[in-house]
Amino acid sequence: MNLTLAAKSQLIRDKAKELGFDLCGIAEADFLSEEKERFIDWLDKDYHGEMGYMANNIEKRLDPRLLVENTKSIVMVALNYFPENTQEDSEAPVLAKYAYGKDYHFVIKEKLNALLEYINQEIGETQGRAFVDSAPILEHAWARKAGLGWIGKNSLLLNRKLGSFMFLGELLIDMPLEYNTETYLDFCGGCNRCIRSCPTNAIVSPKVVDGSKCISYFTIELKDEIPEVMKGKFENRVFGCDICQDVCPWNRMVKPHAVEAFKPNPEILSLSKDDWFAMDAHKFGKVFKNSAVKRTKFKGLKRNLDFLNE
């Protein structure tokens, strides 16, 4: 079957939708010249804090062809994770919504590998790899290039229908395809709600986040003790932070996802304030067995809880 590039690309987008992805776009693998200066400046200002890995493999981050040899196309996908229900106790430590259900890394990776298998079987033999927040790839930049949305002032990808509560993933393949050439318009306008609402002032300017001031950084990435200067600024966040997303007007009308694996674990949503602070290692392992929260381990979560409770 001799398919045109356009036909191949459409088949990929159709299959991605069939697999449950909400968005799929394709970009030509190239050097991210526009992002280079901004990224280097971000590193020079130490906005990555103790995330030393961000300063590694800089050239690969800017050019995926160095990451996976012979890469020609980047197939970007997005999956809505906005939940229908949230935590029941309004006084309980607040968990980022992305951690309510099954760890997204496994869910999306499985779907991407199924998409790669489909490409090989139905479209043409190709070599490639699937990634989900697991490689030196500037995902938001590639998602924008693939036409999935625009970069909001909180540096996250925004889409008019899905808002920003989206997981991203990508396939890097050596198959030429038809590429997105249209730039998704920026619909943030004069709105600065995300900037004004960040309790730690981590959004230092539109689209620039000082990662070393972000609540998500302190509660997930930071391995040392949380600085005392941050006392009283977390707004009860214990793992991750959704504040800049919760206040975004584009997230007001987002419909809840329909992904079975992302359905909130009832045990997580029903945890009371007392349950959280009385949690031991056994309870932690049971409740967060399949959640991304396990990344911080009980020791990390206990540190965060102690910080909120002091």
Three-class SS state of 169 = strand
Cβ atoms of 102 and 51 closer than 8 Å: no
- Token readout for 55 is 């300063």
In what helix (H) or strand (E) does residue 150 lie, and over which residues does it extend?
strand 150-151
Long-range CB contacts for residues 37-45, cutoff 8 Å, separation at least 24: 38/208, 39/138, 42/208, 45/210
Do residues 155 and 141 lie in contact, with contact meaning Cβ atoms separated by under 8 Å?
no
Angstrom distance (rounded) from CA 32 to CA 36: 6
Q: Is 133 a catalytic residue?
A: yes
**Looking at this protein, which amino acid is placed at residue 196?**
R
Q: How far apart are CA 241 and CA 200, in angstroms?
A: 11
Which among 30, 63, 89, 133 is annotated as catalytic?
133
Are residues 27 and 180 in contact, defined by beta-carbon separation less than 8 angstroms?
Answer: yes
Alpha-carbon distance of 128 to 126, in angstroms, equals 6
Q: Give the C-alpha separation, 251 to 242, whole Å.
A: 11
Only one residue has tokens 């776009």, namely 25
Q: Which residues are catalytic?
A: 133
